[in-house]
Structure 1
Amino acid sequence: MSKTHYTTTLPGNGHWSLELRRGSFMKITDLTGGANVGMLFYNPRNLLERYNAPDTLKCQHTFKLQRGNCLYSDMGRIFASIIEDYSANGTGNWHDTICGNSTAQSIEQQFGKRDYQHDRNQWLQNGYDAFLVELAKYGLGRADMAANINWFSKVIADDCGNITLDTSNHAKGNSVTLRFEMDTLVIMHGCPHPLNKSSSYPFTSVQIELGEADPVAEDDYCKNFRPENQRGFHNNQLYYLAANPR
């Protein structure tokens, strides 16, 4: 990666959105341990194109996300590639893309009720409503919300198929870096994972760094991680060739 141009912090009950250009990167770092960052992607030139969790997992033969994986749209193109995935405690990172969001009801049942009008920055936001707030800024709503990614959250299934949140890889300093292969509208929140069983609301902040990524080489790890990824990069190339004919 080249030099970071912008750095900010997303609090554990916060949400944010921005458009990132093709060729930029976003590095997310867990500042305290136990963070969860929900994220969605949309094509800012065609908001009907958005992140597709089933295609992302199916075409790369995986249940989790980690370095090398690409994040696909429902048009077969690649929004972003995971170019770095650092585990501070050496257990390996694991990122969830099946469990969705916390809701106002689940947060109130687990942690009690707090709202912004009474509690200001210590209010207890939920992932679902946090996404809706950001989506509304672009004319999007409930019908436009797809299955989201939960960065830094590892979910495991037992022999009976019960899914739980495994906190063994939670650590201060865990980080993940995305390289954007398309112009992308990024929607995100820092709210708890829906399977988080903490006794108190986890106000776990993350640092976000933005900058310009190195160009994609022919031997790029993500591009060659799966044969399907080469096709995804080809689809991106065709998309931009058609959009910018010489």
Structure 2
Amino acid sequence: FGERYSSQDTLRAQGAAYITTGTQLMSSEGRVMMTVTADTSGRHDTSAGCCSCESNTVRFGHDTLYQHACRENFIIELSRHGMTKRDIVANINFFMNVPISPNGAMTVDDGISSPGDHVEMVAEMDVLCVISNCPQINNPCNGFDPTPIRVVIKG
């Protein structure tokens, strides 16, 4: 479990703040894990992190503390593979619009993707991808209505 996705190395290697077609997802060991081969949306975040019960409480009020969040989804899935919350690394927020202002401030904004948009990636090594379709019902960025996703894995 030592080699992991590295958002910092990915952004540095690409010389760009977002993930899109041609981006190579880099490991903590400097190896290419996956390559984005197609992307109809054009921009995906890997800096803003995932929501958690704690961050939702700060953003949306104490009454949201016990609502489910991406971090909890990751913990549940990782436990099925003998891992713990210490094994969570930076994530990729596919289809999440996180503009970065010239002063470095980031905000979560209305999405720029459309229904049917997709991302295709090729694995360059064996990888474990843990996915959370964000259950966040308090954020206006998804119209307060999380929608389904479809994942297709071709062998």
TM-score class, shorter-chain normalisation, is 0.7 to 0.9
Amino acid corresponding to residue 52 of structure 2 in structure 1: T
Higher relative contact order (CA 8 A, sep 6+): 1
Structure 2: stretches of 5+ with no match in the other structure:
none
* Corresponding letter in the other structure for 2:34: A
Compute the displacement of 1:94 (Å).
0.7
Q: Superposition RMSD on alpha carbons, in Å? A: 2.5
**CA 1:184–1:199 in 2, change beyond 3 Å: closer, same or farther?**
closer
2:133 alignment partner in structure 1: 190
In the other structure, the counterpart of 1:107 is 56
Structure 2: distance between partners of 1:105 and 1:58: 29
Structure 1: 5+ residue stretches without partners: 1-46, 88-92, 116-123, 213-246
Are 1:144 and 2:90 an aligned pair? Answer: no
For residue 98 of structure 1, the aligned residue among 47, 51, 62 is 47
Indicate conservation of the 8 Å contact 1:50/1:74, yes or no. Answer: yes
Counterpart mapping for 1:44-59 below 5 A: 47-59=1-13
Kindly indicate whether residue 18 of structure 2 is the aligned counterpart of residue 64 of structure 1: yes
1:29-178 equivalences under 5 Å are 47-87=1-41, 93-107=42-56, 110=60, 112-113=63-64, 124-178=67-121
Q: What TM-score comes out, normalization by structure 2 length? A: 0.85
Bigger radius of gyration: 1
For this pair of structures, how many residues does the alignment match?
A: 152
CA pair 168-187 structure 1, distance change in 2 beyond 3 A: closer
**After superposition, what is the alpha-carbon deviation per residue over 1:30-56, rounded to whole angstroms, capped at 9, x for unaligned?**
xxxxxxxxxxxxxxxxx1111011111
Tell me, yes or no, if the aligned pair for 2:109 and 2:141 is still in contact at 8 Å.
no
CA contact (8 A) 1:110 1:199 kept: no
Deviation at 1:81, TM superposition (A): 0.7
If each structure's strand is expressed as a fraction of its own residues, which one has the higher value?
1
Distance 1:177 1:199 in 2: 22
Distance 1:70 1:100 in 2: 19
The corresponding residue for 1:244 is: none
CA distance in 1, matches of 2:85, 2:135: 20
Q: Tell me the CA shift for residue 79 of structure 1.
A: 1.4
State the secondary structure of the residue aligned to 1:59.
helix
Percent pairwise identity: 28
- Do the aligned residues in 1 keep the contact of 2:95 with 2:111 (CA within 8 Å)? no
